Amino acid sequence: MIKYFKRSNNSMFVISRHHMVNRVPRYFRTGTDKSYLLNIGSFSIKSTSKPKQSENEDSYSTSKCHICVADGVGGWNVHGINPAKYSRVLTKSITRNIKELDSNNKGDSKNFLSSVLHNAYKEAEESNIIGSSTVCLVYFNGINKLYTANLGDSGCLVYRRRDNSIIYETPFQQHSFNTPFQLGTGSRDSPNDAIYDTIEGIQEGDVILIATDGLWDNLSKKEIIDILSRLDKRNPQAIAEKLGKEACQISLDPHHLSPYAINLAKYLNQRNIDCQNFEKPIYYTGGKPDDITILIGIVEHK
């Protein structure tokens, strides 16, 4: 049976597309005998609106060459299933597969992340753990290329401080409002449905931001750029924490016009139009309480 679970309601660069509060150590080298490394900071917190005994359903992993987040789909809670288990299995398997393939010098290729995601998905299926998850994964070759894979509504962006602009961002994928593409039990989505990109021309000082939808639903791109432009570019931990705390605060603000509020109003208005039940526009304000996980990788010279 196919079933997609909804969310819980609690300057030079080339892109080629192949469509088919915890902390981590701050420095990871991106490979041997290469020019750059990623200086990494992280922020991950459970939604404050959740019961005390509940868990953070987000999971993340990092290594010398990759950053990954997975967001366990909260709709499984109503069936007594812990959504965190599937996302953790997925990120653990992704880490292992990246390590194995990268050690065989297969990392710097356009098909690398597709192989990683297919292998990890297969291993997650074989674990027999029930659940589903979105996933966003990036791999940096240590020179000037960034490979990305995204399925669902987690996402990645690359910010170039020199231009004060976002030079790349992953598109979100949803079947319908608040129902993201997801890997796992009962879902027809597969790694073939992920969007794979290669971004060339990555430069020293570029900021790579990966996050679950707890960030994107609460902070607009303009608000994110404002924070990225103001904070010390040499301190990714401070950036991750600032973004996370701002998103947490907005998620509990009933009056803030968040991206989630804007999208919800659009959805409700369109639904009324489709049902020929449209009387007057619906307006909605407020953030969206959710688990929030943010990873920042700053490209630095060795």
Give Dmax (Cα) for the chain: 65
Q: What is the DSSP letter of 144?
A: S
Q: Which tens digits make up the pLDDT trace of 77-106?
A: 888 889 999 999 999 999 999 988 887 766
* 61 in any annotated domain: yes
Overall average pLDDT of the 219-224 stretch: 98
* 133 in any annotated domain: yes
Domain that holds residue 200: 14-212+233-245+290-301
* 188 in any annotated domain: yes
Closest to 39 (Cα-Cα) out of 279, 223, 217, 299: 299
Find the CATH number of the domain harbouring 107: 3.60.40.10
Tokens of 112: 């690398």
* 162 in any annotated domain: yes
Residue 42 pLDDT > 70: yes
For 39-74, the DSSP string reads: EEEEEEE--TTS-TT----EEEEE-SSEEEEEEE-G
Confidence of residue 278 (pLDDT cuts 50, 70, 90): low
Tokens of 53: 């005994």
Residue 15 pLDDT > 80: no
Which residues have CB under 8 Å from 117's CB, separation 6+? 94, 135, 137, 149, 151, 191, 194
Overall average pLDDT of the 44-54 stretch: 90
Q: Which tens digits make up the pLDDT trace of 121-180?
A: 999 999 999 999 999 999 999 999 999 999 999 999 999 999 999 999 999 999 999 999
* 173 in any annotated domain: yes
More confident residue, 108 or 295: 295
Q: Return the number of other C-beta atoms located less than 10 Å from residue 17's C-beta.
A: 12
CA-to-CA distance for 94 and 241, rounded, in angstroms? Answer: 25
Closest to 289 (Cα-Cα) out of 239, 256, 248: 248
Percent of the chain with pLDDT over 70: 85
The answer to whether 130 and 75 have CB atoms below 8 angstroms apart is no
Q: For the chain, state the CA radius of gyration.
A: 19
Residue 250 pLDDT > 60: yes
- Output the CA torsion sign for 148, 154, 158, 163: positive
* 274 in any annotated domain: no
Which residues have CB under 8 Å from 270's CB, separation 6+? none
When divided into structural domains, the chain yields a total of 1
Task: Say what the pLDDT of residue 107 is.
Answer: 62
* 237 in any annotated domain: yes
Tell the residue number behind the tokens 């109003």, with chain if given. Answer: 265
Confidence of residue 19 (pLDDT cuts 50, 70, 90): very low
* 120 in any annotated domain: yes
